[in-house]
Structure 1
Amino acid sequence: MTSSAPATTSAPTVCRRARPTLTFLGGAGTPTGARYLVETPGARVLVGCGAFAGPADLTRRNWSPAPDALRALDAVVLTGADAAHGGFLPQLVAEGFTGPVFATPETAALLPMALAEAAAQFAEEETAGWPGFPAAPPFRPADADRAVALLQPVTETAFRDVGLVFGRAGGQPGAAWAHLRAGDRSVLVTPPLGSATHPPEPRPAAAVLVLPAAPVPGGATGHEAGRLAAVVHRAVHRGGSVLIPASAAGRAAEVLTLLRDLMDAREIPVLPVHVDNPVGLPAGVPRLPEDVAVHRRPEDTDWWADGPSIVLAGPETAGPGRVLDQLARLLPDARNAVVVAGPGAAGTRTAQLADGLRQVKIRGRYVPVHAEITRFADFGEYADEASVRAWATAGAPPETVFVVEGEPETALASAKALHAEAGWCAVVPADGERVLL
């Protein structure tokens, strides 16, 4: 079965339960693939529809067929437009899902660019035909278009026996927590929370809280601008360029804003900034001191021959996409620098680079790593561990908090801290585990 045709397998019989349940179909034991199935007496709602990144056993789950548990959904609720929270939606649609997709207006505005960028990246990898990449991509542009057509921008709504309220989560643009209520039971699901400069709205009371661990232990340092300026100065002094993995619908706008501020303040030289992605510039990109060159195909330009530059290419995980062309070109040269924001999910190329691996595999060939690698916790957009706990414990205590969207060690540490400091019943769920709400 190809990803562009709906599944012909009939949907399984749906057993409606007298009491709502929650099943962890992703996001448990990994920062990616957020998929939380809420089943009530009248509806099956998937909160988050994320794609996986990292080791092969996880990324294979992005390809068809979708799990049986996702074949009889009534609705999807998106908590963000990034791949980890919305990247599996076109695949779901390709296999026959036609129900409503509820999202905030901000997420609904960002999702078309995010899915178009991913579809184009997959198509380019398919054309490259390198060994190890599946013959067919997880989805195609037509699937992304059909997924976008199902979007229903809302801030609050009711669907069958489920009430839904969104609230700002901060962090990624458009990210929102989702509060679902069915009768006298409720669950609050949130993506990674924003820092003080991107603060989340206070949470409502809920029986069950699904809370991501802080993306990076310790969170933002508050010195991101100065550290980035130092990286740029060192690369320019060596006559090299700087690569920052950042997708158009993800971190690119944040990075470009930071670069503009540094150039305006003359804290870094005014350099050409190249945004290498197939969909152009993200919405809300600030004015830059120099024109931004948007590369439609990396081989159509010889920017690297014109002196030091700053290059943004996605995705952030350095998975399929044009960032691979740039890494293959820049990593072997010690004059260059690569800035990695966060370690990424275990097994991704950004995680390998952050961990000091001295060679990475790109499209079937190993590439030596001689470029300077600098790891940032993030660019200041995410809350640290203490801030996440402060946000969570500021409201009425839930009956249970499930810590998700972190590596196993990070999630376990967060759960232990919530138990020790707040006395909460804090659990790290297993992949596929089902619990009563």
Structure 2
Amino acid sequence: MKVKFIGGAGTVTGSKTLIESNGIRILIDCGQFQGIKPLRELNWEPLPILPSTIDFVLLTHGHLDHCGWLPRLVNQGFKGKIYCTSPTAAVAKLILLDSAKIQEEEARIANEGKFSKHEVAEPLYTVEQAQKVFPYFRVIKTNESIPLDAEIAAVYTNAGHIIGACTIELQLENKTLVFSGDIGRDNDVLMYPPTKPKKGDYIFLESTYGDRLHPDTDTKLELEMYINNTVEKGGTIIIPSFAVERTQTIMYLLWRLKEEDRIPNIPYIIDTPMGINALEIFINNKKWHKLSLKDCAEMSKMFMLVSDYQETIEHIFDKQPKVVIAASGMVTGGRVLTYLEHYIGLPETTVIIVGYQAEGTRGRKLLEGADEIKIHGKYYDVKANILEIEGLSAHGDQKDLLNWLSELENKPTKVFLVHGENQPLDVLRIKIQEKYGFDCKVPLMGQEFEL
């Protein structure tokens, strides 16, 4: 049995882990690389193996960095099965279609503006190619053994993080391999705590926040303060947000603040068609989260839900103070860019960052104090107030990650740390070795190991 780290090693994006056993090839996640250009360019490279030789893809969840390369995989010959939970299938369809539309739109803008270095800019994949992925999805139930082959089975358990997200236990060759996926927080506003594994010979653990603890702050109070301070200056609040889970969390917190008369009566706008559709997934999958159907219905009434792009333009040129929640969460694409083109240069504007920002993304640059950012080939001065609410992250912090390992009844042969940048990976490696005495390995991209 061999494992090869094709993505998500030494970086938080592009998650792809290949397992080979007795002629069967299983790919855990098939994510798109985001962030710095050398990583994004990897999306255009072929896999080190032929996609047609992969038998199964097991998806942990539907975020772009875990499912966003599936259209390329299918386009290059994959004919196997893609296993995931029902909410993950729904989320992945939304995210892949949205990603494809953004890819097509950015290629069109680059060609019209002639700012691409290529003679003709092309999308990474099209909407039509994204749609060709969907027939390969196979929906499974959690906590049940799913036979993949005569001697290979998988069990999905709740990972928290976002709706439908799971940890995958793969049983083969008398060994248990545990792939954490992205682990949620033990005290999340919307999601239930992740299920901790009881057994694992080889563990593949995400390390996004391996070097830090989330601050013990009142996120509602922070939101209240930032909104009220901005409105007093006559400014607009822009919250770049991941459409799934984060948008719904922010909606819930704003709704509670409004119910308590702690924030003003101004327009509250959800300008992400995908976020609106994701709300329907929440309503249709009640057992996956803490919100009641009544909560979902009541909080939705507070917001203007924008799908039509013409409405986006109208809101942009409406000078009154407002709160806008728009995708994407790392400011890499989507409608939030249209808002930022008009508002990032105004000192009365507040941009609130509410999730992890990968290296090289616009969101990361804003957090690091960039004086200007590039959008659609043009540079814009950053005069807006850039703030962060760390307490809204959907990823578990170092304490949560260590706690996730706490119920193991055996000592793993090895713990592979993945899906993290170099510093968090190394800090978490030392912490795990000190706390549990487990043998930890930080694999490099492209490395292969025999298990």
Same fold (TM > 0.5): yes
The answer to whether residue 259 in structure 2 is matched with residue 264 in structure 1 is: yes
The answer to whether residue 432 in structure 2 is matched with residue 418 in structure 1 is: yes
Deviates more, 1:32-41 or 1:339-348: 339-348
Displacement after TM superposition at 1:65 (Å) = 3.8
The answer to whether residue 115 in structure 2 is matched with residue 126 in structure 1 is: no
User: For residue 252 of structure 1, what is the amino acid of its counterpart?
Assistant: T
Determine the C-alpha separation between the residues in 2 that align with 1:378 and 1:298: 33
Displacement after TM superposition at 1:366 (Å) = 1.5
Determine the C-alpha separation between the residues in 1 that align with 2:326 and 2:162: 17
Determine if contact 1:344/1:351 at 8 Å carries over to the other structure: yes
Determine the C-alpha separation between the residues in 2 that align with 1:172 and 1:133: 37
Displacement after TM superposition at 1:133 (Å) = 7.8
The answer to whether residue 148 in structure 2 is matched with residue 159 in structure 1 is: yes
Determine the C-alpha separation between the residues in 2 that align with 1:339 and 1:132: 30
2:89 to 105, 108, 114: 108
The answer to whether residue 213 in structure 2 is matched with residue 208 in structure 1 is: no
Gaps of 5+ in 1: 1-19
Pick the structure with more helix per residue: 2
**TM-score, length of structure 1 as denominator length:** 0.90
The answer to whether residue 441 in structure 2 is matched with residue 427 in structure 1 is: yes
The answer to whether residue 224 in structure 2 is matched with residue 229 in structure 1 is: yes
User: For residue 447 of structure 2, what is the amino acid of its counterpart?
Assistant: E
Displacement after TM superposition at 1:126 (Å) = 2.1
| Structure 1 partner of 2:243 | 248
User: For residue 205 of structure 2, what is the amino acid of its counterpart?
Assistant: L
Displacement after TM superposition at 1:68 (Å) = 3.1
| Structure 1 partner of 2:328 | 315
Gaps of 5+ in 2: 284-295
Q: Deviations over 1:95-125 (max 9, x none)?
A: 2212100001221222211112111222221
Distance 1:392 1:300, change over 3 A: closer
2:23 to 19, 32, 42: 42
User: For residue 143 of structure 1, what is the amino acid of its counterpart?
Assistant: Q
Displacement after TM superposition at 1:42 (Å) = 3.2
Alignment: residue pair count: 418
Deviates more, 1:307-316 or 1:49-58: 307-316
Displacement after TM superposition at 1:280 (Å) = 6.2
Deviates more, 1:403-412 or 1:390-399: 390-399
Determine the C-alpha separation between the residues in 2 that align with 1:402 and 1:69: 25
The answer to whether residue 45 in structure 2 is matched with residue 33 in structure 1 is: no
Distance 1:250 1:53, change over 3 A: farther
Q: Report the 3-state secondary structure (helix = DSSP H, G, I; strand = E; otherwise coil) of the residue aligned with 2:216.
A: coil
Determine the C-alpha separation between the residues in 1 that align with 2:404 and 2:38: 34
Determine the C-alpha separation between the residues in 1 that align with 2:242 and 2:200: 34
Q: Kindly, what percent of the aligned residue pairs are identical? A: 27
Q: Report the 3-state secondary structure (helix = DSSP H, G, I; strand = E; otherwise coil) of the residue aligned with 2:155.
A: strand
1:149 to 113, 121, 135: 135
User: For residue 111 of structure 1, what is the amino acid of its counterpart?
Assistant: A
**TM-score, length of structure 2 as denominator length:** 0.88
Q: Deviations over 1:68-89 (max 9, x none)?
A: 3545211100001001111111
User: For residue 92 of structure 2, what is the amino acid of its counterpart?
Assistant: L
Distance 1:220 1:96, change over 3 A: farther
Q: Deviations over 1:34-92 (max 9, x none)?
A: 10001110310100111111111101122354443545211100001001111111121
Distance 1:330 1:223, change over 3 A: same
Determine the C-alpha separation between the residues in 2 that align with 1:122 and 1:308: 31
Q: Report the 3-state secondary structure (helix = DSSP H, G, I; strand = E; otherwise coil) of the residue aligned with 1:393.
A: coil
1:398 to 405, 412, 421: 412
C-alpha root-mean-square deviation of aligned residues, in Å? Answer: 2.0
User: For residue 375 of structure 1, what is the amino acid of its counterpart?
Assistant: E
Distance 1:104 1:391, change over 3 A: same
| Structure 2 partner of 1:91 | 72
1:357 to 350, 360, 370: 370
Determine the C-alpha separation between the residues in 2 that align with 1:377 and 1:21: 37
